[in-house]
Structure 1
Amino acid sequence: MKAPPPVDFDRTAQDYARHRVGFPPSLYARLADHGVGLLGQEILDLGTGTGDLARGLARRGCSVTGVDIAPALLAAAAQLDEAAAVAVRYVEARVEALPLPAGSVDVVTAGQCWHWFDRPAALVGARRVLRPGGALVLATFDWLPLPGNVVEATEALIEHFNPTQQKPHVRFGHAAGIYPRWAQDLDEGGFLQVETFSYDHPVLYTHEGWRGRIRASQGVGASLPPDEVARFDAEHAALLRDRFPGDPLSIPHRVFVALGRMPGPSAVVASTP
């Protein structure tokens, strides 16, 4: 079988920053109910990309450091932070070799990226940098391919152009935006009080915005050569025009969170209603 093409999200930085809609504001309120994202907390955001989750937590008064291996994404993150008038510290590094002192943060987050890591090594690193009672939060915000919807049609086109790329939901045996394996990772990593929750949140995309969001994805802009990205985008535009003419499109998404805590006295206290 032909090997999948290498994935490099640096190539998608422009589309990623402009079109990739981040986690909904409702997530931060729900995390606060679990003692995460509280004023003054020190947070490390793994695989931060363009800093969406890091920026959302910084807006809530947290001191946030974002780590990623893609310098172009980190540069885009800094520009977005400046426009949002928030401050996040960014470090170019591998998640499996975190350049932070032991016991230096209250919370470690990983938004839309846990599947990219050497997960056992990432768990060891998270445990090292977390304080006693600190939390590790694994979050996803996935579009949902449903029979006959625009997501299903778009994924079929991606597979046509890039048949060897492997979707995370195929790799981990889910098709509904829910990752039971993440809870198992937390259990096996020695985290306690493991909790999961999920909820739906549709996102409105214009045709242009949805095309940009897909160009920024693993199976298109991050792995196909530029001429193939252009060919894909032209066919995607025709597909939307012919089969899904409504503009904007309502794209179903689902938030999923798995959260576990370090042993020891809690460093984060759940907020009260």
Structure 2
Amino acid sequence: MDIVNKNIDGGKAFDWGRTSANYAKYRDIYPQEFYEALVKRGLCVDGQSVLDLGTGTGVIPRNMYRFGAKWTGSDISENQIEQAKLLAKQGGMDIEFIASPAENIDFHSESFDVITACQCFWYFDYKKLVPKLCDILKHDGRLVVMQMAWLPFDDKIAAKSEELVLKYNPTWSGGGWTRQPVFIDNEVLKSFEIEERVEFDVNVHFTRESWNGRMKACRGVEASLSKEETEAWERDHMALLNSIAPDEFDVLHYAAMAIMKKNNK
């Protein structure tokens, strides 16, 4: 399913379904510190029902399943959801996954203790989504918006990889990240207030193959380029990595979260 948003990649269409297999293989990279930051705050744990928006291949629910919460994941891409279901089944996990735009989810009022959205919140139509989140989140529930991005101005490998994506896809707007808090739109802040921000640097370990796969599975490459363009990009990227990167290496990332509660006034 092609997605077009004038505020993302200059309006260039992208489809996460085209990269689902590589997404499942190479984008399950969040470190333990990421999940533990939630658990330490009593979020996504035993006794809670949690909805993960923009779940993709179910990375967040699958990695946090061991902490005991009952998980539901939704995503606009049917291909992503099929991968999520397959991986959860392989792991013996009882997680409900549904293919639906976030704005169209349909649950009973006060169904969830926590709603998470990782690396996806900027895709949503807040005017449509926020009232629905307020309805399905319990009175004392929490909305958690998360992101983790490599730091190209601090990491040479990330910088050179970004440059190559932009060579093939000049309108890609997914690069250039710096240490910054999660942006929360004023439309969201009409109904939610930020309770806590969590931010930290973290090194993520890769091989040349896995970093190539991580970059290939980003929005700017396989999700939006043609098959021929993607293959050419990958040849160039592997040649680049062979010239500048050791067999294994860390890439510096910045993780950020905004934990919010409903404004129940």
TM-score for the superposition, normalised by structure 2: 0.90
Give the C-alpha shift of residue 54 in structure 1: 1.3
Letter in 1 for 2:39: A
Could you say if the C-alpha distance between residues 196 and 129 of structure 1 is closer, same or farther in structure 2, counting changes exceeding 3 Å? same
In the alignment, what sits opposite 2:108? 101
Q: 1:1-273 residue pairs with structure 2 within 5 A?
A: 3-147=10-154, 149-167=156-174, 175-182=177-184, 186=188, 188-244=189-245, 246-263=246-263
SS in 2 for 1:182: coil
Give the C-alpha shift of residue 112 in structure 1: 1.0
CA distance in 2, matches of 1:264, 1:54: 27
Could you say if the C-alpha distance between residues 142 and 85 of structure 1 is closer, same or farther in structure 2, counting changes exceeding 3 Å? same
CA distance in 2, matches of 1:67, 1:224: 25
Give the C-alpha shift of residue 221 in structure 1: 0.3
Give the C-alpha shift of residue 184 in structure 1: 5.2
Give the C-alpha shift of residue 119 in structure 1: 2.7
Contact in 2 for aligned 1:183/1:196 (Cα 8 Å)? no
CA distance in 2, matches of 1:108, 1:102: 13
Deviations 1:120-163 (A, max 9, x none): 32222211110101000001111111256100100011001000
**Structure 1 residue runs of 4+, over 4 Å off?**
183-186
SS in 2 for 1:181: coil
SS in 2 for 1:250: strand
Could you say if the C-alpha distance between residues 153 and 127 of structure 1 is closer, same or farther in structure 2, counting changes exceeding 3 Å? same
Give the C-alpha shift of residue 219 in structure 1: 0.2
Contact in 2 for aligned 1:183/1:259 (Cα 8 Å)? no
Give the C-alpha shift of residue 193 in structure 1: 5.0
Gaps of 5+ in 2: 1-8
SS in 2 for 1:201: strand
CA distance in 2, matches of 1:37, 1:88: 13
CA distance in 1, matches of 2:72, 2:166: 35
Give the C-alpha shift of residue 102 in structure 1: 1.6
Give the C-alpha shift of residue 206 in structure 1: 0.8
Could you say if the C-alpha distance between residues 148 and 252 of structure 1 is closer, same or farther in structure 2, counting changes exceeding 3 Å? closer
SS in 1 for 2:163: helix
CA distance in 1, matches of 2:182, 2:190: 14
SS in 1 for 2:221: coil
Give the C-alpha shift of residue 4 in structure 1: 4.1
Could you say if the C-alpha distance between residues 22 and 241 of structure 1 is closer, same or farther in structure 2, counting changes exceeding 3 Å? closer
TM-score for the superposition, normalised by structure 1: 0.88
Question: Quick one: higher RCO (CA 8 Å, sep 6+), 1 or 2?
Answer: 1
Letter in 2 for 1:88: I
Contact in 2 for aligned 1:95/1:125 (Cα 8 Å)? no
Deviations 1:34-91 (A, max 9, x none): 2211202001100000001111232211111101011111111112112222221011
Give the C-alpha shift of residue 189 in structure 1: 3.4
Could you say if the C-alpha distance between residues 24 and 114 of structure 1 is closer, same or farther in structure 2, counting changes exceeding 3 Å? same
Could you say if the C-alpha distance between residues 212 and 247 of structure 1 is closer, same or farther in structure 2, counting changes exceeding 3 Å? same
Q: How many residues align?
A: 258
Contact in 2 for aligned 1:68/1:92 (Cα 8 Å)? yes
Letter in 2 for 1:126: L
CA distance in 2, matches of 1:183, 1:249: 36
Contact in 2 for aligned 1:47/1:95 (Cα 8 Å)? yes
Contact in 1 for aligned 2:182/2:256 (Cα 8 Å)? no
Contact in 1 for aligned 2:169/2:225 (Cα 8 Å)? yes
